[in-house]
């Protein structure tokens, strides 16, 4: 049996099993992946196994204190390793750059807007991030956002916020916070783009590695699954994210470290150079190292490594070591 895309299935019914977090946003993303695959492979039967990860279960502790490697992915990966799932759908920003033996990043989907977004309480509807009053309480669970905003807006107060997007918005609307910083992509996927008050300029806040893209993880050597999911691969996004992930990997940072990036093409994507901007900041925001590299898009990993080494030469290493000791002293 052959699908319209040319994938040859073995005789009999073909089923693809997807592992996913069960949060509302994760399920929206996983259903999108399912529907895209069904459209490309009408004869494919697809099932979804939804589960809670460690990061979903522990909501009364700051993410950075729990540990960052596989916080939202280990349980899904375990399902593939014991052959209870064929692929796992992740927000790429949550997927560690070093994967368990036997697993691989099979494809990267087209990126939504990776920008950070300001969402405000109704009483601040006439304000921007730059005009919020002194001591306004900003909710964020991201050390990356925290460090950059402290650097640019030291007069604001910052408070950790956990829970899914809806829960966070409820806390904002009840007055626990004056504003929140959330991912524009997540708000858009949940149909909440109208809550975006301001998209934060990359000059103020570089986004997380992989933000806005989905990463589809699968088993190494599973050629039939790899072939099925290739319809989801978006090459321009993949090039950008490969550079970002190489940058993060070279710095040995996790998703809960103040490391930010921005990638773009210098000209139309068919031939322009890849431009990668990156930053490392101290938790108090007082030290922020930022630089940029560009080069041929054919070797995005080399660009990421080059930029990471350049930031280390400028003092990123001691900043990261200090953060690791402060955030995870038990490590």
Map tokens 């990421």 to a residue.
Answer: 304
What are the tokens at 261?
């990036």
- Rounded to an integer, what distance in angstroms lies between the CA atom of residue 192 and that of residue 117? 12
What is the bridge-based pairing of β-strands 44-51 and 137-139?
unpaired
**Which residue among the candidates 86, 94, 178, 222 is catalytic per the annotation?**
94
Q: Return d(Cα 88, Cα 30) in angstroms, integer.
A: 9
d(CA 89, CA 226): 14
Query: Active-site residue 35, yes or no?
Result: no
Number of Cβ atoms within 10 Å of the Cβ of 291: 17
Strand, helix or coil for residue 107? strand
First and final C-alpha spacing in the chain? 51
Q: φ and ψ at 295, to 5 degrees?
A: 180, 180
Q: Would you state the structure tokens that stand for residue 178, as one six-digit string?
A: 């004056």
DSSP-assigned letters across all residues of 228-292: HHGGG--HHHHHHHHHHHHHHHHHT--TTSSEEEEEEESS-TTTPPEEEEEEEE-TTSS-EEEEE
Give me the sign of the Cα torsion angle 209, 280, 71, 22: negative
Q: Are 290 and 278 in contact (CB under 8 A)?
A: yes
Catalytic residue numbers, as ranges = 94
């Amino acid at each position: 049996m052959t699908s319209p895309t040319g994938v040859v299935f073995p005789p009999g019914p073909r089923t693809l099993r997807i592992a996913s977090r069960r949060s509302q946003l994760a399920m929206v993303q996983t259903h999108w992946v399912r529907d895209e695959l069904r459209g490309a492979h009408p004869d494919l039967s697809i099932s979804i196994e939804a589960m809670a990860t460690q990061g979903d279960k522990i909501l009364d502790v700051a993410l950075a204190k729990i540990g960052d490697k596989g916080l939202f992915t280990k349980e899904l990966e375990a399902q593939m390793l014991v052959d209870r799932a064929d692929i796992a759908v992740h927000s790429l920003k949550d997927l560690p750059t070093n994967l368990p033996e036997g697993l691989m990043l099979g494809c990267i989907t087209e990126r939504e807007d990776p920008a950070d977004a300001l969402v405000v309480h109704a009483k601040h509807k006439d304000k921007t991030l730059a005009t919020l009053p002194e001591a306004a309480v900003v909710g964020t669970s991201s050390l990356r956002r925290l460090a950059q905003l402290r650097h640019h807006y030291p007069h604001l107060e910052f408070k950790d916020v956990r829970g899914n997007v809806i829960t966070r918005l409820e806390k904002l609307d009840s007055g626990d916070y004056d504003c929140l910083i959330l991912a524009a992509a997540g708000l858009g996927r949940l149909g909440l783009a109208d809550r975006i008050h301001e998209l934060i300029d990359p000059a103020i806040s570089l986004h997380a590695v992989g933000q806005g893209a989905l990463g589809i993880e699968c088993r190494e050597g599973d050629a039939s699954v790899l072939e099925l999911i290739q319809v989801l691969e978006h090459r321009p996004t993949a090039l950008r994210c490969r550079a970002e992930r190489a940058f993060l990997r070279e710095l040995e940072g996790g998703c809960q470290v103040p490391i930010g990036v921005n990638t773009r093409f210098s000209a139309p994507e068919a031939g322009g150079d890849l431009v990668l901007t990156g930053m490392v900041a101290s938790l108090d925001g007082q030290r922020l190292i930022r630089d940029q590299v560009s080069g041929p898009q054919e070797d995005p990993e080399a660009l990421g490594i080059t930029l990471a080494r350049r930031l280390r030469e400028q003092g990123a290493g001691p900043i990261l070591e200090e953060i690791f000791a402060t955030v995870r002293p038990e490590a």
